[in-house]
Structure 1
């Protein structure tokens, strides 16, 4: 039986869904743009809950499609801050996959006191964009063209062969989303991306945890190395034989990498003489 369960809470007077369980240091898991938290985190959240207090929300408009989307990434960050506050959590370790990596990066930048550390999983911070891009994204023709591009690159069944080392491991819920001609998540994701990320630089040095076989546009191993080079002090760990959702294809390696990173950072923050673990990085064997 799962130790993580779903709860309904209110944020700004609107209902919100969050999966919680476990004890220990709070661990915020933010899903990507394909669907709900369970699609991304169910394979690992029970294992993580053995060590951490797991908090995995369903983002409005993406994970919870009966709710309107939040708009820009900054609004997602503020929503996460209010979510933690509603749960009585002052700060958490933050893990984001794909689109979720952009969300937690913005959260870490806007609410530095709320983020103890950062793990980016096959995703990156979104750079600031000119205001004109946001305006164009609201105009009918550019919006239509952008939507067609997003559907081609990220929302159709053919992308599974590029997103997964073994497409048979793709969750059934993901397959259902990709079969739809008009997935409801697309509009919310576009609304977030067209406004760009925060203008302040990312202050934390994250663990960049990457499925090495990912071949989606902008998510290859080469892109991971570029991201690592752009964030001095960051750590890069590849999980072989996994793609865009390494936590789904190799849950054990994923949990081990996240746990070791957090334990090493926590140990480093303790006073000298209390001991600790070494850092992590490099390549993990499957």
Structure 2
């Protein structure tokens, strides 16, 4: 019997969808730009729900395309805060795949008290951009050029061969999106990209989980090592024979990496008693 189920709630008066299940520390799973929570997290959320309270929302305009996108990473970070409020959650471990990594990085930067720890999955914080970039991107021709570039690099049928170690393991829903002439989430993603992100503090100390066979531009194993070097205190774990969605291609290895990180960080944060032993007090 499934422990993770879909809930329909309202956030700021707008409908929202979130998959919730399990008990324990809250584990916020934020999907990438290709589709929604189920596409990204269904292969792992039942295993994770055995040890944590899984919260996997469909981001407006990206995972849930019948609602408008929010326009910026800051707006998505505020939306996640409202989501946790609606679920009665004070803080959560935050995991983001691809675009979702930029979202949880912004959330941790702007709402640090509500983020227990970060996991980036084949994704990075989004760099800050000069304000004129957003203005320029609102013009028809530059936006058209950016749309064409995104389609070429990450949103067409040939993407599967670069994004997956075994393209046959790609979700069926993703295949449909990549074959679409103009995927509905593309415009929402462009809006966010043109705004850039806040400068992430160096003290985030995230776990970086990376599918070693990812060959998408900006998401190769070399890019993962550069991110690790740029974030002192971060941990880097490669999952062999997986690509841009390691949680889909090797769920067991992904779950093991995430839970080990959470358990280690949780143990380190527990009060210590005399003699270096964890305190037995309440």
Q: Secondary structure at the match of 2:265?
A: helix
Q: Distance in 1 between matches of 2:202 and 2:65?
A: 29
Q: Distance in 2 between matches of 1:102 and 1:2?
A: 29
Aligned partners of 2:202 and 2:232 also within 8 Å: no
Match of 1:57 in 2: 57
| Match among 270, 274, 278 for residue 274 of structure 1 | 278
Aligned partners of 2:6 and 2:17 also within 8 Å: yes
Aligned partners of 2:203 and 2:233 also within 8 Å: no
Match of 1:240 in 2: 240
Q: Distance in 2 between matches of 1:171 and 1:202?
A: 34
User: Where does 1:14-93 land on structure 2 (aligned, <5 Å)?
Assistant: 14-93=14-93
Aligned partners of 2:125 and 2:200 also within 8 Å: no
Calculate the TM-score normalised by the size of structure 2: 0.96
Match of 2:147 in 1: 147
Question: Deviation per CA, 1:134-188, whole angstroms, max 9, x where unpaired?
Answer: 1111111100000000011111010100000000000000001001000001001
Provide structure 1 residue ranges, at least 5 long, that are not aligned to the other structure.
276-286
Give the deviation of 1:13 after TM superposition.
0.2
Give the deviation of 1:133 after TM superposition.
0.8
Q: Distance in 2 between matches of 1:83 and 1:208?
A: 25
Provide structure 2 residue ranges, at least 5 long, that are not aligned to the other structure.
none
Match of 1:101 in 2: 101
Aligned partners of 1:108 and 1:202 also within 8 Å: no
Aligned partners of 2:62 and 2:189 also within 8 Å: yes
Q: Secondary structure at the match of 2:3?
A: coil
Give the deviation of 1:202 after TM superposition.
4.8
Q: Distance in 2 between matches of 1:259 and 1:218?
A: 26
Match of 1:283 in 2: none
Give the deviation of 1:200 after TM superposition.
5.1
User: Where does 1:180-191 land on structure 2 (aligned, <5 Å)?
Assistant: 180-191=180-191
Calculate the TM-score normalised by the size of structure 1: 0.95
CA RMSD of aligned residues (A): 0.9
Give the deviation of 1:204 after TM superposition.
1.1
Give the deviation of 1:2 after TM superposition.
1.7
Give the deviation of 1:195 after TM superposition.
0.5
Give the deviation of 1:201 after TM superposition.
2.4
- Greater CA deviation, 190-199 or 64-73? 190-199
Give the deviation of 1:212 after TM superposition.
0.2
Give structure 1 regions of 4+ aligned residues with deviation exceeding 2 angstroms. Answer: 199-203
